[in-house]
Structure 1
Amino acid sequence: MRASDEQAVRDSRPRRDSVDLSGYPDLVVVYLGFRVGRLRGLRALLGIGRGLSQVQREMPDGLLAHENLVYGLNHIGMRQYWRDLESLEAFTRSDPHKTWWRDFSRDAAGNGFWHEAYRLSGGMEAIYVGMPRPIGLGTFAAARRPEGPFMTSRQRLAS
């Protein structure tokens, strides 16, 4: 093979990249999902959608990236990258998240919600609310009630 042919083959290969996460030792990746289970659940989804658009525009402190995902016709979600658990917790304890969660906890309107969190420094955790069947980590790991020392995301990450 001639040198020019070898160069053409190298140039036609897909570009490969990776990432250097050394600047993010406390990185937390969160996958979230919202599954509409009843027609009236669409209203809740629209309200959350408006709030998520605001989050994407304003990018709260510590949120490095936010990506929308589609899991199915009635199941949407997102992936978020947080600088650290403290930033994520601060966001979840403030509006609009605090209000969404309070309202959803009172009346899920037939919908399901879940999240899974993964820490670069170690630990994974998940919560599933109103899901009709297991998803993600729940498809193979034993179920456990989120109560007592297993109530919060931080506590589950430490287990």
Structure 2
Amino acid sequence: MQAETTSTTRGGGRVSVDLSGYPDLVVVYLGFRVTTWRGLKALLGIGRKLGDLTREKPDGLLAHESVLYALNHVGMRQYWRDFESLEAFTRSEPHKGWWSSFAKDPAGSGFWHETYRRSGGMEAIYLGMPKPIGLGSFAAARAPVGPFMSARGRIAV
């Protein structure tokens, strides 16, 4: 019997991953959908900040990948060491300031994220999206009030 290789291969080789070193892994999908010309300007401003994020790599961010959902709908997938690292990042600058401003004025755009914990739990938030997407396309909508105001509160339920 031939031993399996632990290195990644190119050219279509079959490879898996060993996640045993990441028991608290968190995966976040995020999307930004431009709905007006003003939204395009907002997207360009965020793009610069995302470039800084990928270069500076905050504590706990393991990987960041860009995703194109449609010409007017871009996003990213992020892998975090644990929920605490992700939460610390979202509560610090520049994310905290950006999110506060965006929540007050989405500037002709929509934004959403979905969070999945390896250890269990999922949560999502959608702001200014013209139609349901992701978990929102089949799960009942719920107002983000009380414990549902924060990702920590939503993921715990």
Q: Which has the larger radius of gyration?
A: 1
Q: CA deviation at 1:114?
A: 0.0
Provide, for residues 34-73 of structure 1, a one-character-per-residue CA deviation record: whole Å limited to 9, x for no partner.
0011101111111110000000001000000000000001
Count of residues in correspondence between the two structures = 147
What pairs up with 1:127-146 in 2 under 5 angstroms? 127-146=125-144
Distance (whole Å) between structure 2 residues aligned to residue 61 and residue 39 of structure 1: 34
What pairs up with 1:88-99 in 2 under 5 angstroms? 88-99=86-97
Provide, for residues 6-30 of structure 1, a one-character-per-residue CA deviation record: whole Å limited to 9, x for no partner.
xxxxxxx941111111100100000
| Equivalent in the alignment of 1:113 | 111
Q: CA deviation at 1:109?
A: 1.2
Partner amino acid for 2:83? L
Distance (whole Å) between structure 1 residues aligned to residue 91 and residue 12 of structure 2: 43
Which ranges of 4 or more aligned residues in structure 1 deviate by more than 6 Å? Answer: none
| Equivalent in the alignment of 1:57 | 55
Identical-pair percentage: 73
Give the unaligned 5+ runs of structure 2.
1-10
RMSD (Å) for aligned C-alpha atoms:
1.0
Distance (whole Å) between structure 2 residues aligned to residue 89 and residue 59 of structure 1: 14
Q: CA deviation at 1:110?
A: 1.8
User: 114-123 or 14-23, which moves further after superposition?
Assistant: 14-23
TM-score computed with the length of structure 1 as normaliser: 0.90
SS, match of residue 50 in structure 1: helix
